[in-house]
Structure 1
Amino acid sequence: MHAQTLAKLAEHLRDDEIHVWCLDYRPQHGRTPLLSVLAAYLGTGAERVALTMGEHGRPALAFAHDQSLGFNWSHSGSHALIAIGRHVTPGIDVEQVRERPRAVAIAERFFSTGEAAGLAGLPPAERTLAFLELWTAKEAVLKALGRGIAFGLDRLSVAASAGRLTLQLLEGDDVGAWQLHRLDVGPALVAALAWRGGPRRIRLGRLASAD
């Protein structure tokens, strides 16, 4: 997708939507892709976009910018996802699919008892995807909450079935106030998007590679 098309879609971001952009990513890109996308929504140049860091490391727009615009991003391997919405604080996470032989051990240490038991009860061939679904969902919620995994992955619980994610527990919060969605971004990736607030339409798009 060309920059002009991105700018046109950005101009029409509705309050009941969240835009999610998929793009190729290389470590040498740094934050350049994120700044370029944010610039389109802010109607300015990427070099003028300034970010601040929250107490727990979540990036946000500096106060000089439109504070109604919320965003989050995640990258894994050669892929990145960027989520943007108005009057919302989205959390997004993506993981590249690869074998996780220690999935059960990690879950037993960091996840809730029920989640760990559920993973342990699956056939080995199914554990990697199931583990990544839980991991990305938890990360997405914690990023939307403005917290990192130091909050405690066992302080929230997620159920995954038939391609749907359900937030069952979030310590200190009302799970009914949250939205949690699995994102279909290709067979090589597992991704989730979360936010606190009412339902919104998710518009998923792909950006041309920035080499």
Structure 2
Amino acid sequence: MTATHAQTLANLAEHLRDDEIHVWQLDYRPPLGRKPLHVVLGAYLGIEANRVTLIAGEHGRPALAAGHDRSLGFNWSHSGDHALIAVGRRVTPGIDLEQLRARPRAMEIARRYFSTAEAEALAALPVTARDAAFLEMWTAKEAVLKALGRGLAFGLDRLSIANEAGQLTLQRLEGDDVGAWQLQRLAVDTTQVAALAWRGDMRRVRLGTLASGD
């Protein structure tokens, strides 16, 4: 799924199915702010990007203002020069992206903010594997919290993530049924780690690239 210009993006957006989530990879340039997000949402809403109005939810999560199709759920994340935007109908996706780089304080952070089981799982890994494993766990937690509409203030220790045979699983979420949740690692590139989460039935995740300049 690749969009090379606005018309192609609009065509793909028009065919978003209720059992899908579209995830777009794009370049991130801070001076543009939320403009790329407005462009993508405008395509799915069938309006010009400058007519898209966002409001802040109870915990700061961006949401569509009244007057827009509120059945459209979305979330975005950016790190370094890259960004991801997730869009789906009748679902509230949470997405998180981090650059893969050395994290010298990974174990310190894990022991302080993660569950005991998570910290022990990281400590059991070879040192060379800990940075990637820490970021996989971090992005998964962030994705779930963003799908909840909450931030880090909710508490990273109130949910637990495990890596079972290469698959991320949500093992505990305080006050909720983990069986109602979906969590997926996203195959972006070798320099990034990303995760997508949502509450609801399994959906097909379509990962695409939005060309620079769209």
TM-score (norm 1): 0.98
Aligned: 1:4 with 2:4: no
Partner of 2:85 in structure 1? 82
AA of the residue aligned to 1:92:
I
Aligned letter for 2:96?
D
Percent of pairs identical after alignment?
74
Counterpart of 2:209? 206
| Residue of structure 1 in register with 2:195 after alignment | 192
Q: Where does 1:1-211 land on structure 2 (aligned, <5 Å)?
A: 1-210=4-213
Once the two structures are superposed, residues 40-99 of structure 1 have per-residue CA deviations (whole angstroms, 9 ceiling, x without a partner) of: 001111110000101111000001100110000000000000000000000000000010
**Deviation >3 Å, runs of 4+:** none
Amino acid at match of 1:205: G
Taking the aligned partners of 2:113 and 2:213, their CA distance within structure 1 comes to 36
Code of the residue aligned with 1:101 in structure 2: it is: P
| Number of residue equivalences | 211
8 Å Cα contact 1:24-1:210 kept in structure 2: no
SS of residue matched to 1:39 = helix
Report the alpha carbon displacement of residue 12 of structure 1 after superposing the two structures with TM.
0.6
Could you list the runs of 5+ residues in structure 2 that have no partner in the other structure?
none
What displacement does 1:19 show?
0.2
Contact residue 10 and residue 41 of structure 1 kept, 8 A: yes
Q: What SS does the aligned partner of 2:36 have?
A: helix
Secondary structure of 2:172's match? strand
Kindly state the Cα deviation for residue 127 of structure 1 after the two structures are TM-superposed: 0.3
Q: Provide Cα deviations, 1:164-208, integer angstroms capped at 9, x if missing partner.
A: 110000000000000000000010000000000000000000001
- Any idea what SS the aligned residue of 1:133 has? helix
Q: Secondary structure at the match of 1:85?
A: strand
**Where do 5+ consecutive residues of structure 1 fail to align?**
none
Residues 84-118 of structure 1 deviation map (CA, whole Å, 9 limit, x = unaligned): 00000000000000100110000001100110111
Q: RMSD of the alignment, in Å?
A: 0.9
Between the aligned partners of 2:141 and 2:91, the Cα distance in structure 1 is 18
